Structure 1
Amino acid sequence: MNHCPSCRRPIRWTITQAGKRLAVDPTPDPDGNTAVRRDGTGTYLSRRPSTELPLMGYERLHKPHVATCPANQAQLPLPAEVTSLDAHRNRRRNP
């Protein structure tokens, strides 16, 4: 098990069907959209379940860590009633 470099929460690295690495939260979540399983060598594999190939009994749903990482949540747009202080901070750093 590794830790996210941005938020330091635990993550589990998986290999997708395309051969790419994907970080997922280590605990299964019924609201997740990524099916995770282990192969015979202990490698975690992930895929997106579909109607043609639904979730199998040996797979568990997990959420991709990018969807739950607090560091990524800071990049979401602010509600209308909240004022961003970024412009003020940038003006103080670069007069």
Structure 2
Amino acid sequence: MAPQCPDCHKPIRWTRTEAGRNLAIDPDPDPTGNAAVWRDGNGTLRSRRPTADLPLTGWERLHLPHIATCPARQEQTALPLPAGVTRLSDHRRKKNR
């Protein structure tokens, strides 16, 4: 049985990042993704963030992290905040990439 997101029950795939953490990604490649995914010599799915210094290579495919597309997570962030509470992400500056 394929792994599923515990929140929305859509299929996901688990990768291991360069920092040794687990990252859930959407199973299908997406050209707008920001996670370069490949299978290492042991068969483990690995992921990293491509940069200008280390761009996408021929054996990697771009995928979106599942947290960016999870409908259950998007519903959670759309909830209204209590009175007197400010969502900090609305006031943070966007970095030029």
TM-score exceeds 0.5: yes
CA distance in 2, matches of 1:4, 1:62: 16
**Residue-by-residue CA offset, 1:45-90 (whole Å, 9 max, x unaligned):** 0000000000000000000000000110102336xxxxx6x98xxx
1:54 aligns with 2:55: yes
1:42 aligns with 2:43: yes
Match of 2:8 in 1: 7
Q: Which amino acid aligns with 1:50?
A: T
The percent identity for this pair of structures is 60
**Residue-by-residue CA offset, 1:12-62 (whole Å, 9 max, x unaligned):** 000000000000000000000000000111100000000000000000000
* Two-structure CA RMSD over aligned residues (Å): 1.7
CA distance in 2, matches of 1:56, 1:68: 24
* Higher gyration radius (CA): 1
Match of 1:93 in 2: none
Q: Which runs of 5+ in 2 are unaligned?
A: 83-97
User: TM-score under structure 1 normalisation?
Assistant: 0.79
CA distance in 1, matches of 2:28, 2:64: 9
3-state secondary structure, aligned to 1:2: coil
